[in-house]
Amino acid sequence: MDRAVVVVAAGSGTRLGIGTAKAFVPVAGTLMLARAIEPLFTLAAPTLVVVVAPAALLDDCRRLVAAVAGAAEAYTAVVAGGADRHDSVQAGLAVLPDAVETVLVHDAARCLTPASQFDRVFDAVAGSVHDGSGAGFVPALPVVDTVKRVDGDLVVETVDRSALVAVQTPQGFPLGALRQAYAVSEQSETDDAGVFRAAGRTVRSVQGDADAFKITTPWDLGRAESIVRSRSAAPTDTRVGLGVDVHAFDAASPCRVGLLDFPGEPGLSGHSDGDAVAHAVCDALLSAGGLGDIGGTFGTSDPQYAGAAGDVFVRGAVAMLASADLIPVSVTVQVIGNRPRIGARRTEMQDALSAVVGAPVAVSGTTTDGLGFTGRGEGLAAIATAVIRPA
Ligand code: CTP
Ligand code: MG
């Protein structure tokens, strides 16, 4: 592998003030470091990922990296960091194999940085290696505030902001040149581009991304959490319903399950056609809308439903929801029993049910391992869930 990202995560997070190393603080339920490295396994080309962690948390860090990397775990390494960021970066650079030509250095604290920013910096370094210039690259954003030079509280002058940018990470470099730069560098440089330039090398900027901001203070953490929550926000007014139905086998009836005919299979007894799957879906839809149940709504002995096909009830439930300004979002139904085997006709059943529900219906099947009435082959059960929302 000829490219790597070193993620520095060994800081203590003093300014965040939570008492846990910053990279191990949850951001909307997922640890900051997990969020930071997730995009690295989705980049345009395979990339070695080296995480620099606090020495006391090396084992926790290894577990976390393995869990996020999944099959790509072989392309990861975890090493202990140093007293300051400068030392931590050097610890990461030190373990990179010689085959690595391009390295990006990234702050775990910029945990919402999108994959596109890594790809952009990698592309920029590759381009400059190709044209022989060997520059380093930083993602940068224009400075939007008016910036003043001050002496204590005395404002001395306005600085021309058109000549300023705010830089982020990842910052990318040809590895050999960055190693040489670090070998002769001053601890006072606060970023890798500073170290690189101090060694007489060229640094250029590429477009940054507002989401790549650094979490430093509790306010930043709150900002990151609200960004994450707004991204994953489900409509708050969805409702969920549950439906269960059971019918006994009746060899004298035709077999209809999930709106499909199963010729040659024993049918199901009942006032209607005994389609337990359709009935469970109907009940799930009604219950999601708070509209009661199939028996109370359609009448278990009403002559107009004698022998009725399952779609009549499902259609009826959807119509009742529509009258209440509600529409189905999705439905799942599980068929529980020995027969009929639905595996080969699962897609067909999903299509038939979806067409009537007007939303995706997912069908699955299971047996009960020979236990209970379904295991003994006395009948068929179905359990359904429905999600609905205001129309
Ligand atoms: N970092 C590091 N090793 C250190 C210090 C910092 O790897 N000895 C890393 C941090 O984990 C972070 C990045 O460098 O991802 C930027 O540092 P900063 O935001 O300052 O984080 P902390 O040093 O943890 O925070 P603070 O300065 O508030 O203690
Ligand atoms: Mg710090």
Condensed to tens digits (0 to 9), the pLDDT of residues 287-344 reads 999 999 998 988 767 788 877 888 999 999 999 999 999 999 999 999 999 999 999 9
Helix, strand or coil, per DSSP, at residue 260: strand
pLDDT at residue 231 tops 90: no
* Confidence (pTM): 0.67
Number of helices (H), then strands (E), belonging to the chain: the values are 12, 19
CB of residue 85 inside a 6 A radius of ligand 1: yes
Q: How far is the CA of 85 from the centre of ligand 2 (A)?
A: 7
Shared-domain flag, residues 29 and 150? yes
Give the Cα separation of 134 and 174 in Å (integer). 6
Phi-psi region of 256 (alpha: psi -120 to 50; beta: other; left: phi over 0): beta
Across the range 241-267, mean pLDDT stands at 94
| CA atoms of 103 and 92, how far apart (whole Å) | 10
Residues whose CB is less than 8 angstroms from the CB of residue 264 and which lie 6 or more positions away in sequence, other chains included = 255
The confidence score (pLDDT) of residue 76 equals 98
pLDDT for 95 beyond 70:
yes
What is the structure's pLDDT at 307?
74
CB within 8 Å of 332: residues ≥ 6 apart: 361, 362, 363, 364, 384, 385
Mutate to test the pocket of ligand 1, among 20, 104, 107 (most ligand atoms within 8 A of CB): 107
23 ligand 1 Cβ < 6 A? yes
**Ligand 1 atom with least separation from CA of 107:** 15
How far is residue 237 from each of residues 231, 240, 278, 319, 389, measured CA to CA in Å?
A: 17, 10, 25, 20, 6
pLDDT tens column, 146-188: 999 999 999 999 999 999 999 999 999 999 999 999 999 977 7
Task: Count CB neighbours of 156 within 10 A.
Answer: 10
Q: Which atom of ligand 1 is nearest to the CA of 36?
A: 15
- Domain termination site, one of 232, 252, 281: 232
Q: Are residues 41 and 89 in the same domain?
A: yes
Domain total of the chain: 2
Residue 245 in this model has a pLDDT that exceeds 90: yes
The CATH code of the domain that includes 168 is 3.90.550.10
What pLDDT shows up at residue 272?
Answer: 81
Last residue in a domain, options 232, 254, 283:
232
Which residue has its alpha carbon closest to ligand 1 atom 25?
13
Closest listed ligand to the CA of 54: 1
What share of the chain in percent tops pLDDT 90? 89
Buried b (16+ CB within 10 A) or exposed e, 317-330: bbebbeeeebbbbb
Are 72 and 10 in the same domain? yes
Mean pLDDT of 52-58: 97
105 by Cβ neighbours in 10 Å (0-12 / 13-18 / 19+) ranks as buried
> Is the same domain home to 192 and 245?
no
Q: Is the pLDDT of residue 7 over 90?
A: yes
Q: Is 22 in the pocket of ligand 1 (CB under 6 A)?
A: yes
Confidence class for position 235, pLDDT limits 50, 70, 90: low
Ligand (nearest to CA of 83): 1
The reported pLDDT for the residue numbered 236 is 66
pLDDT exceeds cutoff 70 at 361: yes
Looking at the structure, do residues 281 and 368 belong to the same domain, yes or no?
A: yes
Distance, CA of 203 to CA of 136 (rounded, Å): 5
The pLDDT assigned to 172 comes to 98
Does the Cβ of 133 fall within 6 Å of ligand 1? no
Query: Do residue 213 and residue 245 come from a single domain?
Result: no
Atom of ligand 1 nearest to the CA of 216: 19
Do both 246 and 223 map to the same domain?
no
Q: What spacing in Å lies between the alpha carbon of 103 and ligand 1's midpoint?
A: 19
Structural domain including 346 reads: 239-390
User: For residue 198, with 0-12 CB atoms within 10 Å meaning exposed, 13-18 middle and 19 or more buried, which class applies?
Assistant: middle
Q: Is 94 a residue whose pLDDT tops 70? A: yes
Residue 106 near ligand 1, beta carbon < 6 Å: no
73 in the same domain as 36? yes
CA of residue 189 to ligand 2 center, whole Å: 13
The overall average pLDDT reported for the chain is 94
Q: For ligand 1, is residue 214 a contact (CB within 6 Å)?
A: yes
User: How remote is the CA of residue 51 from the centroid of ligand 1, in Å?
Assistant: 13
> 243 and 201: one domain?
no
- Residue 59 tokens read as 């084992």
**Is the N-terminal amide bond of 170 cis, ω within 30° of 0?**
yes
Under 8 Å CB-to-CB from 308, ≥6 apart: which residues? 272, 273
Whether 250 and 274 have beta carbons less than 8 Å apart is answered as yes
- Shared-domain flag, residues 180 and 257: no
Q: Answer yes or no: is the C-beta of 381 below 6 A from any ligand 1 atom.
A: no
Query: 135 and 211, same structural domain?
Result: yes
Residue that is last in its domain, among 232, 253, 276: 232
Cis-peptide, bond into residue 39, ω within 30° of zero: no
Question: In CATH, what number is assigned to the domain containing residue 269?
Answer: 3.30.1330.50
Residues 357 and 281 in one domain: yes
